[in-house]
Amino acid sequence: NAGVTQTPKFQVLKTGQSMTLQCAQDMNHNSMYWYRQDPGMGLRLIYYSASEGTTDKGEVPNGYNVSRLNKREFSLRLESAAPSQTSVYFCASSEARQIYGYTFGSGTRLTVV
């Protein structure tokens, strides 16, 4: 099915460990985003990429890095995981965002112990 694919779906990390969350879209969208979702907090933007080769910080970028590998793929890296990074992470993509909105992946549930 066309859309946004995130891997893995679940992950448990120990404090200080690193990992990369993968995201790929097959809709030929230019823009891609990483959000985190926490109970009672809604979705908060971590990083975004307006086009291939560009990345910018969002509202909550501390502790994260991103790579826009190509037009399809946008990865999120936690270099040294902390319990405060326990969250559900969503990747999204968009084209003419004001018309078609964002398409979200199904999320990665990350627990840092």
Residues that bind other proteins (CB under 8 A): 4, 33, 35, 40-45, 48, 56-59, 90, 92, 97-98, 100-107
**Using CA atoms, how far apart are residues 71 and 11, in angstroms rounded to an integer?**
26
Which residue lies nearer to other proteins by CB, 14 or 40?
A: 40
For the CB of residue 44, give the shortest distance to other proteins in the complex, in Å. 8
Minimum separation from the CB atom of position 103 to other proteins (A)? 8
Q: Of 18 and 28, which CB lies nearer to other proteins in the complex structure?
A: 28
Q: Give the containing element (helix H, strand E) for 32.
A: strand 31-38
The residue among 71 and 109 lying less far from other proteins, judged by its C-beta, is 109
DSSP, collapsed to helix, strand or coil, labels residue 51 as: coil
14 vs 98 by CB, closer to other proteins:
98
- Dihedral sign, CA of 92, 86, 17, 80? positive
Q: How far is the CB of 15 from other proteins (least distance, A)?
A: 26
Cβ atoms of 35 and 49 within 8 Å: the answer is no
Residues 6+ positions from 35 with CB-CB distance below 8 Å: 43, 44, 45, 46, 89, 90, 91, 92
User: How near is the Cβ of 57 to other proteins at its closest, in Å?
Assistant: 8
